[in-house]
């Protein structure tokens, strides 16, 4: 499954800050990436096991807006 989220992540250092959290959450079950060039600062998550609400909650707990598209 591929989940797509609109986020408020704007800078590469934000991505670096989130990297350990996303890596730990997704583990070896999938992959993720940000498109900071997109006006919606897209986060794409490919995984078979996680619920999209978990990803959105993770970003919100760390100070970023996140909404599934």
pLDDT value for 19? 96
Report CA-CA distances (Å) from 30 to 3, 13, 18, 64: 11, 22, 16, 22
- CB atoms < 10 A from the CB of 4, how many? 13
- Expressed as residue numbers, the domain containing 12 is 2-68
User: Using one digit for the tens of pLDDT, what is the confidence trace for 5-60?
Assistant: 999 999 999 999 999 999 998 887 789 999 999 999 999 999 888 889 999 999 99
CB of 40 within 8 A of CB of 68?
Answer: no
Q: What is the CATH number of the domain that holds 18?
A: 3.30.70.100
Q: How many domains does the chain have?
A: 1
């Amino acid at each position: 499954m591929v989940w797509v989220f609109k986020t408020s992540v704007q800078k590469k250092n934000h991505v670096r800050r989130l990297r350990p959290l996303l890596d730990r959450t997704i583990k070896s079950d999938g992959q993720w990436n940000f498109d900071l060039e997109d006006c919606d600062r897209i986060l794409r998550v490919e995984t078979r096991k996680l619920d999209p609400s978990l990803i959105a909650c993770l970003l919100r707990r760390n100070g970023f807006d996140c909404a599934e598209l």
